[in-house]
Structures are given as structure tokens and as C-alpha cells.
């Protein structure tokens, strides 16, 4: 699923997987994406890497993070 030896950095690969789930409707607007801890377990990456992936999703305008609550899928514009 995630290839540490791949062309793209691990955090981008993780971001892409989550973005694809949003695109597919697997993750829906106003609902949280998996927590950082969940991403760590699912993808087998460090927490810093999971956070970096979520940061990418924020920069893409796909999600918004509420401190202490979670990161939520934004409605499509």
C-alpha cells in the first residue's frame, strides 16, 4: 500500500490515499478522517509522517483540523 522506496515521499503517498477516499465518497463532508493514531497504525508510519500527510490535505483544501477534536472533510466548493 505504502512504498517507502517509492518515487513519492511516504507522507504524500498517505495523503494521496486519503484524498482518494474522499474523492470516492469513502470519507464524507463534515465527518472526521481517521485520527493520527489510526493513520499511524493503518499505514505503519510515524506520527510525524501521519501529521505531515494531513498537513498536505489541508494545503489541498480537502480537510480542516479542529485542535483537540479531529480533522474533518470539507464540502466540495
Interface with DNA by CB under 7 A: which residues?
A: 4, 9-12, 32, 35-38, 40, 44-49, 51-52, 65-71
Residue 71 near residue 59, CB atoms below 8 Å: no
Residue with cell 507522507: 11
Nearer to DNA, 20 or 38 (CB): 38
- Please state the closest distance from residue 48 (CB atom) to DNA, in A: 4
For the CB of residue 66, give the shortest distance to DNA in the complex, in Å.
6
Minimum CB distance to DNA, residue 5 (Å): 9
Closest to DNA by CB, 21 or 70: 70
| Residue 68 or 76 having the CB closest to DNA | 68
Give the 3-state secondary structure of the chain. CCCCCCCCCHHHHHHHHHHHHHHHCCCCCCCECCCHHHHHHHHCCCHHHHHHHHHHHHHCCCEEEECCCEEEECCCC
Amino acid at each position: 500500500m505504502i512504498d517507502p522506496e517509492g518515487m513519492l515521499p511516504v507522507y504524500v503517498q498517505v495523503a494521496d490515499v486519503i484524498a482518494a477516499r474522499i474523492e470516492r465518497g469513502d470519507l464524507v463532508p463534515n465527518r472526521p478522517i481517521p485520527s493520527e493514531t489510526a493513520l499511524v497504525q493503518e499505514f505503519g508510519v510515524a506520527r510525524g509522517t501521519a501529521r505531515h500527510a494531513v498537513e498536505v490535505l489541508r494545503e489541498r483544501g480537502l480537510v480542516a483540523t479542529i485542535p483537540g477534536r479531529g480533522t474533518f472533510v470539507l464540502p466540495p466548493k
